[in-house]
Amino acid sequence: MIKQLVACEIGPNYQVDDGFLALKLLVFYPFIRFFAKGESYKQLFTQLVSDNGYIGYVDSGRTGLTLLLKSLQLESDCEVLIQGFSCIVVPNSVRNANLIPVICDVNEDDYNIALVDAEKKITPKTRVLIVQYPFGMVPNVDKILVFCKKYNLILIEDCAHVFNQNVLIDGETKKIGMLGYGSIYSFGRDKVVSSTLGGAFLLNSTDPDTLTAIKNEYEKLPIMNLFKELQGLWYCVLTVFIIRPFYFYGFGKLVLVLARKLHMIGEIYTNKEKQGFADLGNQSKYSPVLAILLNNQLKKADKTKEHRQKISRIYNSILGNQTQDQDNLIRYPIRVPSEKYYQIKSTLKKNHVLMGTWYNSVFIPSETDLVYLNYHHGQLPVCEKLIKNQLINLPTNLNITTSKAGEIAQLIKPILTLT
């Protein structure tokens, strides 16, 4: 039996065609670096995201979020409502823009910001609400829009987990990402479309002052450095040709560890970020070389969406509609009794599946000390409950087949139903 890795992580979106493309980019790197304009992805991205508004392409979602927040030109003690059950770069971006993150609890059903808790935390200084769409789950956006209107809040959409998704508002179809002041996207390694590194911001506001502010900040950014570009390409090549196929033979895992040690593969978070500092030094524009890889992913965006829907429906039909008919999911979240968590994990591992662990702390990575966010235990009861081994994620990416998805669900089902 072939022990091919199935996972939510480790280059989940990269397929053999991406691997060959990245290899070609590596081989001809000096030539491509010098001549690549890498413009064709912009047309595809615009079609999928919005053909209105101003889009800037940057090195990461976190840079995009910082730029959007800065463009608001708010006083430095203004507050931004964000949710826990997220990634540390979100509050860091708020701090980066000299604003104060106010952390709110999440809903148990869609893992999005709990407006009941947000309402309690509103002060005269609250100016912004960031909605996150964890796992690609879209909450009742009408409620969020009404909430923002009621409290005069600026809405920013963090679309790091959602892409190419429509929503019905008052009988009208709208695109997620176009509902508020602006939105951000990530092309990070585990995201919906990936070039290992990268991101974008979309400014929907047409206010000329804001537009000038964001353009000025954006233009000031340097181009992505060569080392990071190369790390991005290596990550794709190694995950497709070595790490994933040979992971369960030991060799793949070894290459992953070695490549990290040798800095052929970069880290998702810098040490500074883990210590709670927003790492301004790393910010740059996007890379015209990685853009070629992104272009290939964007060409597959509709196929990827269809595939994710198909896989989510299989999980839903066998495991009892855990996601309330949401099916454009970057990962499929399942609530599990905490005492079954490790049993499920090891059963899946024996079948060459690594389950995802979003989120095993209020903000990942779990080693981040949240003292600098004034976070204290008990502040977010739902988040704190969920992170205690109550949620697992199953893969929905192109590297999992429909039959494997069925097999995974059938493996988990008896564990969940057994009391």
- Contacting residues toward ligand PLP, per CB under 6 A: 60-62, 86-87, 89-90, 132, 158, 160, 186, 188, 199
CB of 198 to ligand PLP, least distance (A): 7
Which residue has the CB atom at the shortest distance from ligand PLP? 61
Q: Which of residues 153 and 200 has its CB atom nearest to ligand PLP in the complex?
A: 200
CB of 98 to ligand PLP, least distance (A): 19
Q: Which of residues 180 and 252 has its CB atom nearest to ligand PLP in the complex?
A: 180
CB of 327 to ligand PLP, least distance (A): 19
Q: Which of residues 62 and 175 has its CB atom nearest to ligand PLP in the complex?
A: 62
Residue pair 181/203 in contact (Cβ under 8 Å)? The answer is yes
The residue count of the chain comes to 419
CB of 160 to ligand PLP, least distance (A): 4
Q: Which of residues 30 and 281 has its CB atom nearest to ligand PLP in the complex?
A: 281
Q: Which of residues 331 and 404 has its CB atom nearest to ligand PLP in the complex?
A: 331
Q: Which of residues 267 and 369 has its CB atom nearest to ligand PLP in the complex?
A: 267
**Nearest-5° Cα angle at 190, 144 to 368:** 75
Q: Which of residues 270 and 338 has its CB atom nearest to ligand PLP in the complex?
A: 270
Residue pair 364/354 in contact (Cβ under 8 Å)? The answer is no
CB of 135 to ligand PLP, least distance (A): 10
CB of 282 to ligand PLP, least distance (A): 10
**Nearest-5° Cα angle at 307, 306 to 311:** 120
For the beta sheet containing 126-131, the strands, ordered from the edge strand earlier in sequence to the opposite edge, are 54-58, 199-203, 182-186, 154-158, 126-131, 79-83, 100-104
Place of tokens 């949620």: 391
Q: Cα separations (Å) of 169 from 139, 178, 348?
A: 12, 12, 39
CB of 375 to ligand PLP, least distance (A): 17
In SS3 terms, 64-85 reads as HHHHHHHHCCCCCCCEEEEECC
Within 10 A of 220 (CB to CB), how many other CB atoms are there?
9
Q: Which of residues 314 and 394 has its CB atom nearest to ligand PLP in the complex?
A: 394
CB of 337 to ligand PLP, least distance (A): 26
Are β-strands 126-131 and 154-158 bridged in parallel, bridged antiparallel, or unpaired? parallel
What residues have CB less than 8 Å from 148, skipping those under 6 apart?
Answer: 129, 154, 155, 180
Alpha-carbon distance of 328 to 163, in angstroms, equals 9
Alpha-carbon distance of 40 to 37, in angstroms, equals 8
